[in-house]
Amino acid sequence: MRQPPCDPIALTLTLALSACGSSTTTTPDAGPDVSCGLDCAAQARYGLIIDRCFEYSTSKTTADDPPALGLWVRPVFTIEGGVKVIPVEYRQNGQIKMIDSFGIVDGTLKLMRREFSGTGQSVTYKTGMDITGVTWLQMESGPARRTPPPPTRSSPTSPRGPRCRPRTA
């Protein structure tokens, strides 16, 4: 009885695959999902969704028109030292009053810089020469935790986008 011919390509492929065996190496952690800015999970937890706007009123029952204060979460920006931050603009009557630049380090929200509009002054939080920020909120198993400043008469209304944008003539 005659044996079927041996295909050298199939034999080589079979030997190569069986020699490899199963891999014991693990894929390194890719880190947080940064497709939405810095850290998508932390941003969602802290409400720092790019281009989201919040409006605050002086009344607890009705919305002011225009809002007493508007906050606009801006796209990721890189400051000196290659530090990526999410700027948050604080607006009154459409005018920028202050900008906080936040970073997220291991899930912790850090204030990296605060700029005071119209004054040319800012505060950058550094350790030595490196921008390290100050802890603003920490991620824990429960809700985000921070000891807030004493409340003002402002209360949040619904998040709305277009109202925070500068008004055009």
Cβ–Cβ under 8 Å, residues 162 and 51: no
Domain contains 13: no
27 belongs to a structural domain: no
Q: What is the domain extent for residue 54?
A: 32-158
Is 77 a domain residue? yes
Q: Is residue 115 part of a domain?
A: yes
44 sits in the region (left: phi over 0; alpha: psi -120 to 50; else beta) called alpha
66-90 residue pLDDT tens: 889 999 999 999 999 999 999 999 9
The tens digit of pLDDT for each residue in 8-39 reads 444 443 434 444 445 555 555 667 888 888 99
Number of domains in the chain: 1
Q: What is the pTM of this model?
A: 0.66
35-70 as b/e: b if 16+ CB within 10 A: eebbbeebbebbebeeebbbbbbeeeeebeeebbbb
Question: Sign of dihedral through CA atoms 152, 154, 160, 164?
Answer: negative
